[in-house]
Chain A
Amino acid sequence: DQQVKQNSPSLSVQEGRISILNCDYTNSMFDYFLWYKKYPAEGPTFLISISSIKDKNEDGRFTVFLNKSAKHLSLHIVPSQPGDSAVYFCAASGGAAGNKLTFGGGTRVLVKP
C-alpha cells in the first residue's frame, strides 16, 4: 500500500517557466511533509518542508502548498533553472510512524535551456 504517491514520473519544462510537482498521501496521521531533490548516485538533499498546520511555505524559488482536505501537496519551482534537473521526492512523517519518512516514487524533472 503506497501511502505517498507521485503520479507523474517525469516532467519537462522550459527554463524560466514554473515547475509544478504533485504528491498525494493516504495516511491522515501524517503531519509533516518534505521535499527532497536527488541527483543520480547521490543522497537526497532537503529542499523545503511544511507542517500540517500550514497551507503554504515559501523559500526562495520553492513554494510548497498543502491541501489537507484533499491530502495533496505540491511543489512549485519558479523560475525553473537547468540546475533544477533532478529527481524530486516528496516524503511524509508523523503519527504512529514518528520521524520515519515515507517517500513517494519520485518525479524526474528536466529543465530545458
Chain B
Amino acid sequence: GAVVSQHPSWVICKSGTSVKIECRSLDFQATTMFWYRQFPKQSLMLMATSNEGSKATYEQGVEKDKFLINHASLTLSTLTVTSAHPEDSSFYICSADSENSYEQYFGPGTRLTVT
C-alpha cells in the first residue's frame, strides 16, 4: 500500500528557533501533499495544500510566513515552523494524494514541543 513517512517523529526546540519537518511518499508519487495540525482532543485542521513545483495554498488564518512549505519533488514536502513559540506546540501531520484513488495517505505525525 501507499506509505507516507515523516521525520522527525518528535522534536523539542527552544522558543525563537526554526524547525523543519519532512514528509515523504515512499512508494508513490504525490503531486499534492497536505499539512494538518491537531491540538489535543481536537480534529485535524488543514493548514495548507502543497503542489509540487508551485507555491502552497494556505487555509484562512494560517500564517504563510511562519509556516513555510516547500514541495520540491513528487515525493517530498517540507514544513518549516519559523521562530517557533510555545503556542506552536502541536501534532503536525502530512498526507499525500495517490494518483490512482481518492484516498489520502497520512504520515505518522510529528510532535513539536516548543519550550
Chain A contact residues, CB within 8 Å of chain B: 32, 34, 36, 41-46, 49, 51, 89, 93, 99-106
Q: In the complex, which residues of chain B have a beta carbon less than 8 angstroms from the beta carbon of A100?
A: 34, 46, 49
B97 near A43 with CB under 8 A, answer no
B106 near A105 with CB under 8 A, answer no
**Neighbour of B108 across the interface among A34, A43, A101, CB < 8 A:** A43
Chain B, residues 12-53, CB within 8 Å of chain A (1/0): the string is: 000000000000000000001010000000111110010000
Chain B contact residues, CB within 8 Å of chain A: 4, 6, 32, 34, 42-46, 49, 91, 93, 95, 97, 102-109, 111
Q: In the complex, which residues of chain A have a beta carbon less than 8 angstroms from the beta carbon of B105?
A: 46
Main secondary structure of the interface of B (DSSP, over half): strand
A32 near B111 with CB under 8 A, answer no
Q: In the complex, which residues of chain A have a beta carbon less than 8 angstroms from the beta carbon of B108?
A: 42-43
Chain B minimum-CB-distance residue to A46: B103
Q: A34-B104, A45-B106, A89-B43 are in contact. List 16 more A-B contacts (CB 8 A).
A: A32-B102, A34-B102, A41-B109, A42-B108, A43-B95, A43-B106, A43-B107, A43-B108, A46-B103, A49-B103, A93-B102, A99-B102, A102-B46, A103-B44, A104-B43, A106-B43
Q: In the complex, which residues of chain A have a beta carbon less than 8 angstroms from the beta carbon of B44?
A: 44, 89, 103
Complex CA gap A34/B106 in Å reads 13
Max count, chain B CB within 10 A of own CB: residue among A41, A51, A102, A105: A41
